[in-house]
Amino acid sequence: MNALWQSVLGEIELSVSHATFTTWYKNTELVSQDEEELVISVPNIFAKKQFEVKFNDQVKKVLAKNGVEPKRITYTIIVAGKKTRINRETTLNSSDNADNLVSSSATASPLAFGRPTSGLSVTGNLNPRYTFDNFIVGSSNDLAYTASQAVAANPGMKYNPLYFYGGVGLGKTHLMQAVGNEIIKNDPNAKVLYVSSETFVNEFLDYIRFKKKGFSDKYRNIDVLIVDDMQFIANKEKTQEEFFHTFNFLHQNNKQIIISSDKPPRSIPTLTERLRSRFEMGMSIDVQMPDFETRCAILSAKASLSGVELNVETVEYLATNIKTNIRELEGALNQLLAYAELHGIEPDITTAEGLLGNVRHSRPQHLTSKQIIDRTSKHFQLSSEEMCSEKRDKHIVVPRQIAMYLLRSELHLSFPKIAGELGRKDHTTAIHSVEKIEKAIKLDFVIREQVASIREKLYA
């Protein structure tokens, strides 16, 4: 009976990506078969769903090719014993998975998942781990996904520019780079340039200041330009002007432009009217936080690709408790798996509860308010006395706000307590300051880097 299923799997393996096969097909078996019904076992509810909604047609087709046409195919959940861990060794030995582990991104996620399009091809500054295959689609991102695929299939023809906007960690960079990777896969000679808008700004400034050559050539001599986190060129008029010219040049030559930002074009107040209307010529798509089911599918897929089958309870626990963004979801999963591995325990709901509880409520014991204030003062070359003084000079106000922000984010102090620590009586100042820095971190990379650098030293 299993010979049939093996042959079906063998055939499917050739037509789907490695990631899809490993995640969804690998742990399935044929349970029973008669003329009426064929029953296939799957390891969990997420797989059952994916099979019912996404893969059923494919399974049916391949079965028919093998001469089997039951009236009905049923997917049933069979949990593989109590031990939830798949043999890690075998998983790691598969060369593609080994690739995954070394091709991890800048965030150094040990669970980077997905298969490099090609180990050797020069994809420039694209990260090969961002592919369509390993992008989980749900109702919150299907439009973004479909439009991206359309652009990848016919760059420069449709939706130009393609503009994604939304909060951090929701998959914008992943999708944009997936488009780039797909274009290169289809045409290895395509010139795809991915830059953060910070890079664009810096290279432009170098060009102006030091008369560096090659700036225009670099940005005009390409087929696809991907600019990530566009909000950082707002406010910079000259850079916008230059970007406008680059944009026009590429657009007129039917070159594809893909942009991401934290806001839709119309809501970036400092964007020049000309640039705004250009951006609105194409397609703007709101990328949102995936719904609960999609979050579960993402967790389940990521865990399984790193060789671990999480049970439904644990997946749902994580998906229920982490609603901010996918990056945090991944972070929590990584932490759970690493912790379980280190201590030789199961990554189950009890372990997850312990860990998430920890993350939320108890930061390192040794860190004190004084250390945060001292460290922040030092970073800005101020004295702690100045920080806690009445002075309202601008060069003191922002550092003070950052200190308040860190007291909140690192020690979870109450607002009255935060105000008190900095010699303020009114706690609304603290609320205002924390909110201001939270916002600034998203919009202003200078502040973001300052905060990151202070935080790093606090835990060094």
377 in contact with Mg ion (CB under 5 A): no
Take residue 345 and report the two structure tokens written for it: 């325990």
Tell me the backbone φ, ψ of residue 94, rounded to 5 degrees: -65, 125
Kindly indicate which of the ranges 25-33, 131-139, 212-220, 368-376 contains the residues binding ligand ADP, using the contact rule CB under 6 A.
131-139
Q: Which residues ranging from 152 to 191 are in contact with Mg ion (CB under 5 A)?
A: 172-173
**Closest-CA residue to 215 (of 223, 224, 206):** 206
- Compute the Cα dihedral for 297, 104, 193, 263 and give only its sign: positive
Q: Which residues ranging from 165 to 184 are in contact with ligand ADP (CB under 6 A)?
A: 168-174
101 in contact with ligand ADP (CB under 6 A): no
At closest approach, how far in Å is the CB of 262 from ligand ADP? 9
284 in contact with Mg ion (CB under 5 A): no
100 in contact with ligand ADP (CB under 6 A): no
148 in contact with ligand ADP (CB under 6 A): no
Nearer to ligand ADP, 169 or 416 (CB): 169
The C-alpha atoms of residue 459 and residue 455 are separated, in whole angstroms, by: 7
At closest approach, how far in Å is the CB of 249 from ligand ADP? 26
115 in contact with ligand ADP (CB under 6 A): no
Q: Residue from 48, 49, 327, 455 that binds ligand ADP (CB under 6 A)?
A: 327
Q: Shortest Cβ contact with Mg ion: which residue?
A: 173
User: What does each C-alpha distance from 390 to 6, 256, 296, 400, 424 come to in angstroms?
Assistant: 75, 53, 50, 11, 8
The C-alpha atoms of residue 334 and residue 190 are separated, in whole angstroms, by: 35
326 in contact with ligand ADP (CB under 6 A): yes
141 in contact with ligand ADP (CB under 6 A): yes
196 in contact with Mg ion (CB under 5 A): no
Nearer to ligand ADP, 322 or 387 (CB): 322
Kindly indicate which of the ranges 91-99, 116-124, 324-332, 432-440 contains the residues binding ligand ADP, using the contact rule CB under 6 A.
324-332
* Helix, strand and coil in the chain, % to nearest 5: 55, 10, 35
Burial of 65-85, coded b for 16+ CB within 10 Å and e otherwise, reads: eeebebeebebeeeeeeeebe
Q: What residue 141 binds from ligand ADP, Mg ion, none (CB within 5 to 8 A, per partner kind)?
A: ligand ADP
Q: What residue 197 binds from Mg ion, ligand ADP, none (CB within 5 to 8 A, per partner kind)?
A: none
First to last CA, the chain: 59
196 in contact with ligand ADP (CB under 6 A): no
Q: What residue 185 binds from ligand ADP, Mg ion, none (CB within 5 to 8 A, per partner kind)?
A: none
The C-alpha atoms of residue 49 and residue 40 are separated, in whole angstroms, by: 13
Q: What residue 86 binds from ligand ADP, Mg ion, none (CB within 5 to 8 A, per partner kind)?
A: none
The C-alpha atoms of residue 129 and residue 114 are separated, in whole angstroms, by: 5
Take residue 442 and report the two structure tokens written for it: 């998203």
369 in contact with Mg ion (CB under 5 A): no
Mode of pairing for the β-strands spanning 256-261 and 37-42: unpaired
Q: What residue 195 binds from ligand ADP, Mg ion, none (CB within 5 to 8 A, per partner kind)?
A: none
The C-alpha atoms of residue 105 and residue 35 are separated, in whole angstroms, by: 49
Q: Using CB under 5 A as the criterion, which residues of the chain lie in contact with Mg ion when the complex forms?
A: 172-173
Q: Using CB under 6 A as the criterion, which residues of the chain lie in contact with ligand ADP when the complex forms?
A: 134-136, 141, 168-174, 298, 326-327, 330
